């Protein structure tokens, strides 16, 4: 049997009202799976699947054509984990979440980085347990850093900035990720990085 080199990619239906997939999207994914292949559902609103490396460009193009978003797997910024936007697209800032995701998802970082967004203080997107958490409060945004969901030393992130406009939010989150990319040690989790890094560097990246 001919050996086919495969790569793992992460796929989801993009940011919308809940983590949903249409029948067309499911059929398109299934097209590239054989009887023994498995689809892995992660805790981060992504599906992992393996596709032939030499056909990755055309397969991703086909996935995109049915509204599937594709991301790299490994030490990258994950696609934004969001709440279900139950109070409405504009009220909960879905366009802002989409733009933030477009700017940061897939960027290379020292260790897998999880960023979560939630449209109101009820916090269904669990922003405080993520590396970087964003919470929309009325018309503006709060940012939390250093949450840790796993382990018996799990902890909530610290509120570092409040009342940001969308543009301020993009700049701040991109600045923090850029600092982590430059100053983080190889495979250093974000919560350790935030505890280790000089406060002045962190404050500079937030300003
Ligand atoms: S965080 Fe708020 S707006 Fe978003 S799904 Fe939960 S209750 Fe609805």
Q: What is the pLDDT of residues 188-203, one digit of tens each?
A: 999 999 999 877 777 7
d(CA 124, CA 56): 34
pLDDT digits (tens, 9 = 90+) for 165-184: 999 999 999 999 999 999 99
Q: pLDDT value at position 2? A: 74
pLDDT higher than threshold 80 for residue 140: yes
Instruction: Report the pLDDT value the prediction gives residue 91, as an integer from 0 to 100.
Output: 79
Residue nearest to atom 6 of ligand 1 (CA): 124
Q: What pLDDT is attached to residue 19? A: 81
The mean per-residue pLDDT over the stretch 31-55 comes to 90
User: In a mutational test of the pocket of ligand 1, which residue from 92, 133, 138 has the highest number of ligand atoms less than 8 Å from its CB?
Assistant: 92
Query: What's the mean pLDDT in 110-119?
Result: 96
Whether the predicted pLDDT of 164 surpasses 80: yes
Spatial contact of 116 and 81, defined as CB atoms under 8 Å apart: yes
**pLDDT attached to residue 17:** 82
Cβ of residue 166 lying under 6 Å from some atom of ligand 1: no
CB atoms within 10 A of CB 181: 14
Higher-pLDDT residue of 88, 31: 31
Task: Give the chain's mean pLDDT.
Answer: 92
Instruction: Output the residue whose Cα is nearest ligand 1's atom 7.
Output: 122
- Among the residue ranges 3-7, 26-30, 107-111, the one predicted with the least confidence is 3-7
The answer to whether residue 90 scores a pLDDT higher than 80 is: no
Tell me the pLDDT band of 1, cut-offs 50, 70 and 90. low
pLDDT given at position 203 = 74
Question: Is the shortest distance between the CB of 122 and ligand 1 below 6 Å?
Answer: yes
- Say if CB 15 and CB 102 are below 8 A apart: no
Contact 190, 113 (CB under 8 A): yes
Q: Is the distance from CB of 31 to CB of 19 less than 8 angstroms?
A: no
């Amino acid at each position: 049997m001919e050996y086919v080199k495969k790569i793992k990619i992460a796929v989801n239906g993009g940011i919308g009202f809940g983590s949903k997939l249409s029948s067309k999207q499911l059929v398109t994914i299934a097209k590239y799976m054989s009887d023994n292949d498995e689809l892995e559902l992660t805790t981060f609103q992504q599906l992992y699947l393996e596709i032939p490396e030499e056909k990755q460009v055309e397969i991703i193009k086909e996935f995109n054509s049915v509204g599937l978003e594709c991301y790299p797997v490994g030490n990258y910024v994950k696609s934004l984990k969001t709440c279900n936007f139950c109070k409405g697209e504009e009220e909960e800032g879905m366009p802002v979440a989409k733009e933030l995701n477009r700017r940061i998802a897939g960027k290379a970082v020292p260790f897998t980085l999880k960023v979560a967004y939630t449209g109101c203080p009820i916090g269904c997107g669990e922003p405080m347990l993520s590396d970087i958490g964003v919470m929309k409060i009325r018309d503006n945004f709060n940012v939390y850093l250093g949450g840790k969901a796993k382990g018996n030393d799990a902890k909530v992130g610290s509120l570092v900035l409040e009342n940001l406009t969308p543009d301020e939010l993009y700049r701040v989150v991109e600045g923090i990720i850029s600092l982590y990319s430059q100053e983080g040690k190889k495979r250093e989790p974000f919560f350790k990085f935030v505890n280790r890094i000089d406060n002045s560097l962190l404050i500079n990246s937030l300003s």
